[in-house]
C-alpha cells in the first residue's frame, strides 16, 4: 500500500475506534445512572419491569452490579475514545491492558463454570447465602427483589427455608418468609415446622434451570462479547504500533 492509503486506513480505524468507544462510554453512563436509580428507588424499578427475566439478577443486588458494570464501561470507553483521539500510546496501552484483563477474567469464569460446575454452585451458594441472611429484611431493594422472585417462582431462599435460619429477618420476626410455607398472604405466620413440612424448593434450582434453558443464547452473547473484546484489543494495538511509524 502507498503511504496515502496507509494513512487513510489509519484514519478510518482511528475514527471507528473513537465512535465505538464513545458508544461504550455512553452505555456505561446509562448503566451507572440506572444502577443509581435502582439503589435509590428500587420499588419503581420492580414495578416497571416486573419479575426480572434473569433469575441471576434477582439473587444479587442489581444496583451494585449495574453501578460496577457502568463504571467499568465508562473507564474503558474513556481510555479508548480519548486515547485514539489524542493518539496517546499510554492511554491506548492502558485500554489494551484493561480489556485484556477483563477478557482473561471472563475466560477463567467460563472455564470454572463449565469444568467445575459443582464448585461454581458451591461458591455461589457460599457467597449468596450469607448476604441473604444479612440483607433480607434490612435492604429494601434486596428484600423487594427476593420477595418478587420467591412469590412468582414459588421458591424459598437460595437452597431452601434453612437459608433464613439465624438470619437478621428471623431474629427480628421469629418466623420465615411466608413464601417458604407456600402462603400467599404475608400476614400468615410461617414457622420452622410448617416450612419443613411444605419443603418449598430453593430458588437456586430455578436459576440453574433457566441458565441451562438459555445456555445457547448466553453462549452466543458471550462469544459475541469476546469477539468484540478481541477486535478492540487488535485495533488498539494496531493504532499503538502505527504511532511509531508516524
Domain that holds residue 132: 105-222
Residue 68 lies in a domain: no
Q: How confident is the model at residue 206 (pLDDT cuts 50, 70, 90)?
A: confident
Q: What is the pLDDT of residues 72-119, one digit of tens each?
A: 999 999 999 999 988 899 999 999 999 999 999 888 877 776 776 666
Residue 193 lies in a domain: yes
Residue 16 lies in a domain: no
Higher pLDDT, 111 or 232: 232
To the question of pTM greater than 0.75 for the whole model, the response is no
Residue 163 lies in a domain: yes
Contact in structure between 237 and 13 (CB atoms under 8 Å): no
Q: How far is CA 115 from CA 109, 119, 137, 234, in A?
A: 10, 9, 36, 29
Residue 81 lies in a domain: no
Q: In DSSP terms, which residues pair with 176 in a beta bridge?
A: 190
Contact in structure between 70 and 78 (CB atoms under 8 Å): no
Contact in structure between 207 and 225 (CB atoms under 8 Å): no
The residue-averaged pLDDT of 178-205 equals 87
Residue 169 lies in a domain: yes
Residue 168 lies in a domain: yes
**Contacts by 13-18 with C-beta closer than 8 Å and gap 24+?**
13/235, 13/238, 13/239, 14/84, 14/85, 14/87, 14/239, 16/235, 17/80, 17/81, 17/84, 17/235, 17/236, 17/239, 18/80, 18/81, 18/84, 18/85
Check residue 1 and give its pLDDT: 56
How many structural domains comprise the chain?
1
Residue 134 lies in a domain: yes
Amino acid at each position: 500500500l502507498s503511504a496515502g492509503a496507509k494513512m487513510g486506513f489509519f484514519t478510518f480505524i482511528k475514527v471507528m475506534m473513537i465512535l465505538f468507544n464513545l458508544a461504550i462510554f455512553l452505555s456505561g453512563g446509562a448503566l451507572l445512572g440506572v444502577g443509581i436509580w435502582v439503589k435509590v428507588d428500587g420499588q419503581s424499578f420492580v414495578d416497571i419491569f416486573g419479575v426480572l427475566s434473569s433469575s441471576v439478577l434477582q439473587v444479587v443486588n442489581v444496583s451494585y452490579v449495574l453501578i460496577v458494570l457502568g463504571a467499568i464501561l465508562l473507564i474503558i470507553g474513556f481510555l479508548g475514545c480519548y486515547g485514539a483521539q489524542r493518539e496517546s500510546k499510554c492511554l491506548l496501552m492502558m485500554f489494551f491492558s484493561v480489556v485484556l484483563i477483563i477478557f482473561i477474567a471472563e475466560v477463567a469464569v467460563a472455564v470454572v463454570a463449565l469444568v467445575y460446575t459443582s464448585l461454581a454452585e458451591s461458591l455461589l451458594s457460599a457467597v449468596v447465602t450469607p448476604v441473604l441472611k444479612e440483607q433480607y429484611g434490612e435492604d429494601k431493594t434486596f428484600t423487594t427483589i427476593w420477595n418478587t422472585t420467591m412469590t412468582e417462582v414459588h421458591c424459598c431462599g437460595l437452597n431452601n427455608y434453612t437459608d433464613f435460619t439465624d438470619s437478621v429477618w428471623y431474629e427480628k420476626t421469629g418466623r420465615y418468609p411466608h413464601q417458604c410455607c407456600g402462603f400467599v398472604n404475608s400476614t400468615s405466620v410461617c414457622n420452622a415446622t410448617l416450612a419443613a413440612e411444605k419443603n418449598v424448593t430453593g430458588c437456586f434450582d430455578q436459576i440453574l434451570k433457566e441458565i441451562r434453558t438459555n445456555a445457547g443464547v448466553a453462549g452466543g452473547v458471550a462469544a459475541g462479547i469476546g469477539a468484540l473484546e478481541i477486535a478492540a484489543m487488535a485495533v488498539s494495538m494496531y493504532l499503538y504500533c502505527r504511532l511509531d511509524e508516524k
